Amino acid sequence: MKYSLVAAVVAAFASSVSAADAVKGAAEGFAKGVTGGGNAAPVYPSTTAELISYLGDSSARVIVLTKTFDFTGTEGKVTSAGCSPWGTGSGCQIAINQNGWCDREQPKAPKVSSITYDKAGILGMTVGSNKSLIGQGSKGVIKGKGIRIVSNAKNIIVQNVRFTDINPEYVWGGDAITVDGGDLIWIDHVTTDLIARQHIVLGNGASNRVTISNCEINGATGWSATCDGHHYWGLYLTGSNDLVTLKDNYIHHTSGRSPKVAGNTLVHAVNNYFYANSGHAFEVNPGGKVVAEGNVFQNVVQAMQPNLGGQMFASAAAGTNAQCKQYLGHDCEMNAYGTSGTLTGAAAGILSSFSGKNVASASAASSVKNVVNTAGYGKI
């Protein structure tokens, strides 16, 4: 009898822990249906080595972060040459001469003979298929290293995690989240700040169906390529036939690439709050297709760079927005602007690209400013 009582208590406790340390909600948009680690029993890494192992193995896993995992110094330091393409004054990023980038792309930039940075930040941790990486409360922090989803890994959820302090002084010092060949990926309630280069990058390989939602892309920094405290390398979305839902995100204190879209990528940007951008938000290059609705641009110098060759549907005409209903299931919502440049483009032909796909819902732009209170880690 005593044994049965103890067993029952233990079982009840285990059940409550699993319920608490589980993915919240479900993905909207293109990554709808992603399950990550599913019903796998949660695991709680205690060391950086354990975290790397859990992320990269072949088992379905729910990996719960209960503390800060600090990778700074775990792989040593690197000293190499670099350059200063954007100025040598205070507040400017220095570029690492990675693969001869300074010599090839910036031959006239002032050379820097010796810079020292943390090696762990250069390459993110590999994430295998069928994984959920979630933070517990506001404890899930990864410092000094990002993650990379490659080699056709699929069915992955990253939720309620902060990535921070990845060699922020140095371009080419590392990215927070890299996807380069994958499918069914949901990045939700994630905060990225003090990143060397891209906060989130979808590389040239096909990333297929991705949803980025409720995230805070915080570009406030002491080192930037524009030397003004605003990070330039925000979101780089390129690839082969990629489908990206960008919804309910707070993207602020950037100066460019917020996002950059290229490489035959279709982006549905809906109900995002773009704030305090000293340069441009959208950069839509040839091959890039963007439908932007219900977004707010506040204190954004350019909502988009003009004449880059990509396609944008962001019409301000209600009659034109009604064309969305056939393919998106609803009339497109108007975008809103405050002390900001505006989006242009009425490429209605790209709407048919949504046919038969999972499409996120949209709300009026008037509700979007509350995103500042709901986006990012620790707010779920």
List, by residue number, the catalytic residues. Answer: 257
The separation between the first and the last C-alpha atoms of the chain, rounded to the nearest angstrom, is: 40
| Rounded Cα distance, 120 and 48, in Å | 11
Contact criterion met (CB below 8 Å) for 187 and 216? no
Instruction: Please provide residue 236's backbone torsions phi and psi, each rounded to the nearest 5 degrees.
Output: -120, 105
Instruction: Please provide residue 208's backbone torsions phi and psi, each rounded to the nearest 5 degrees.
Output: 55, -115
| Rounded Cα distance, 308 and 25, in Å | 37
In DSSP terms, 247 is beta-bridged to 213, 270
| CA pseudo-torsion sign 357, 361, 365, 367 | negative
